[in-house]
Structure 1
Amino acid sequence: MNPNDHVRVLIVDDEAQYLQRCTAAVLADPSLRLTGAVTSGAAAIALLDHCPPDVMLIDPGLPDMLGIEVIRHAVRHCSHTHILVVAASADAGHVPACVDAGATGYLLKDVPAPRICVSIHELHDGGASIGPGMARHVLECFRQTPAAAAPVAPVNGAVRNGSPVLLSQRESDILRLVAKGMAFAEVGALLSISPHTVVTHVKKIYRKLAVHSRGEAVFEASQMGLL
């Protein structure tokens, strides 16, 4: 394989056992290339600036700074880097902050090593990856985080050209997940509905927002305070 075809991976975690397990998983996959395995936020930022990876795996809790600070640095300075958060537990309160900062994947540390590599490839291919142990918690975080309300807008709605735009709770959930870059199949798996049902809801969202594409929907929803 051409070295340029490898997916470059940076691992940031101060837990020695997990760092070793994750490193071994990456090294065992011939299509991945490890660019670094570090235990601090400062070392991660230095590597991001020197050799930006395609995918960064990061623990939200680091000894010298919050993982979200490293995520924000990656988003600002390494726009092509995808970010996979690896957490020790599913009930940590950092989920919404990490997702809002730019993380596109979430795994628990107890997932099998092959699942780590699968998630890396999913992110690199433009998708989002949420492990089964995190799916319900991530969805609950989205539901508990209200969309910013536009002036005189009803709940789950906004005003467009003087007329209210109302989204159902399900449509709001789907819109937020789609805005994070998830494919329709991934949204369906997370919400326990079929991809066909997701498409049906998306078409309703497009109609309500008077748009014709995912990008237009995300833009209009952001402008109207629905995201």
Structure 2
Amino acid sequence: MEKNCFMIFGFESISRKSLEQRILRIHEIEDVVVVANIRQAGVLLKEHRIDVLIIMPECINYFNIIQQAKTCSPKIKIMVLSSAMQAEDIVNIIRLGISAFLSLEDALDNIRTHLDAMLCGDFPISPSIAKYALTTERRASLETTREPSVLSLREQDVLELMAIGHSRNDIAKSLQLSPHTVTTHIKHLYKKLGVHSRTEAVFVAQQEKILCLDHVTINSDNIA
């Protein structure tokens, strides 16, 4: 299996050094490059293969580095770490097509789990960030664009299993469906709810009383 090349974008700090050391202990890592200058980052992104970009909380211009990374490497996985951010910025950063959005504490505690999930195509997001975004600008903007959120019985079944952390394959087995059919149901319910991830779907469905599972705990390690 091909090993991944990482870039960490952020100024010198204890948290950055700690994150770098933890990433280096993962055996699937080929190299970790650390930069604090956006121009230097741009040169490296153009001249070298960078598979994963991790942006530290002290970055003052998330948008420039994310857009530059996407331009240089369309398939790059981008993990944004946050300590404190305005709701509008959270929403706008999610819309840039990042691959993970985590609090710094969450990332340091579970970096291997979150990286594995992100590289498998999931969208790790700290529940506090997801909830904050959904209860502010993002929820308001989606109200005017989404279709009526009446789910079919099968879509409801899929959503309930998603809410308790089941993977797509697990859902397929539980409902005796093909994985492709489950993926189709998920796309349809996302469109009806006006969302783009598992976390968003569960929060919106609970808020609109479509999903009433008081015992549900969002599993950010399996977010799709």
TM tier, shorter chain?
Answer: 0.5 to 0.7
Q: Does the alignment pair 1:146 with 2:117?
A: no
Task: Report what 1:129 is aligned to.
Answer: 124
Distance 1:97 1:185, change over 3 A: farther
The one-letter code of the counterpart of 1:139 is L
Structure 1 unaligned residues grouped into runs of 5+: 150-155, 158-165, 175-183, 200-211
Match of 1:167 in 2: 149
Mapped to 2, the partners of 1:186 and 1:82 lie a distance apart of 27
From 98, 103, 107, the equivalent of 2:98 is 103
Q: Is the 8 A contact 2:78 2:98 kept in 1?
A: yes
Matching of residues 29-108 of structure 1 within 5 Å: 29-59=26-56, 62=59, 66-89=61-84, 93-108=88-103
Query: Does the 8 Å CA contact 2:101/2:124 hold for their aligned counterparts?
Result: yes
The 1-side partners of 2:56 and 2:37 are apart by 10
**In 2 relative to 1, CA 131–137 (structure 1 residues): closer, same or farther, beyond 3 Å?**
same
Amino acid at match of 1:113: L
User: What does residue range 201-216 of structure 1 map to in structure 2 within 5 Å?
Assistant: 213=184
Cα deviation, residue 195, structure 1: 4.6
Report the number of matched residues: 176
Judged with a 3 Å threshold, the aligned counterparts in structure 2 of structure 1 residues 110 and 92 are, in CA distance, closer, same or farther, namely: farther
Richer in strand (by share): 1
Q: Deviation above 3 Å: which 4+ runs of structure 1?
A: 90-93, 184-187, 193-196, 214-218
Write the distance in 2 (CA, Å) between the matches of 1:185 and 1:44: 42
**Identical pairs, percent:** 15
2:4, 2:30 within 8 Å by CA — same for their partners in 1?
A: yes
Q: TM-score, normalised by structure 1?
A: 0.62
**1:144-189 residue CA offsets vs partner (Å, 9 max, x unmatched):** 332564xxxxxx43xxxxxxxx225x99xx9xxxxxxxxx79962x
CA distance in 2, matches of 1:15, 1:148: 43
Once residues 87 and 186 of structure 1 are traced to their aligned partners in structure 2, the CA distance between those partners, rounded to angstroms, is: 29
Unmatched segments (≥5 aa) in structure 2? 172-182, 196-224
Provide the C-alpha distance between the structure 2 equivalents of 1:132 and 1:32, rounded to a whole number of angstroms.
27
Instruction: Please give the secondary structure, in 1, of the residue aligned with 2:135.
Output: helix
Q: Kindly provide the amino acid, as one letter, of the partner of residue 98 in structure 2.
A: A
Amino acid at match of 2:54: L
CA distance in 2, matches of 1:217, 1:112: 31
CA contact (8 A) 1:55 1:123 kept: no
The TM-score normalised by the length of structure 2 is 0.63
Q: 1:185 to 1:112 in 2, by over 3 A?
A: farther
- Conserved 8 A contact 2:16-2:56: no
Contact kept? 1:26, 1:34, Cα under 8 Å: no
CA distance in 2, matches of 1:133, 1:46: 34
Look up the SS of the partner of 2:105 in the other structure.
Answer: coil
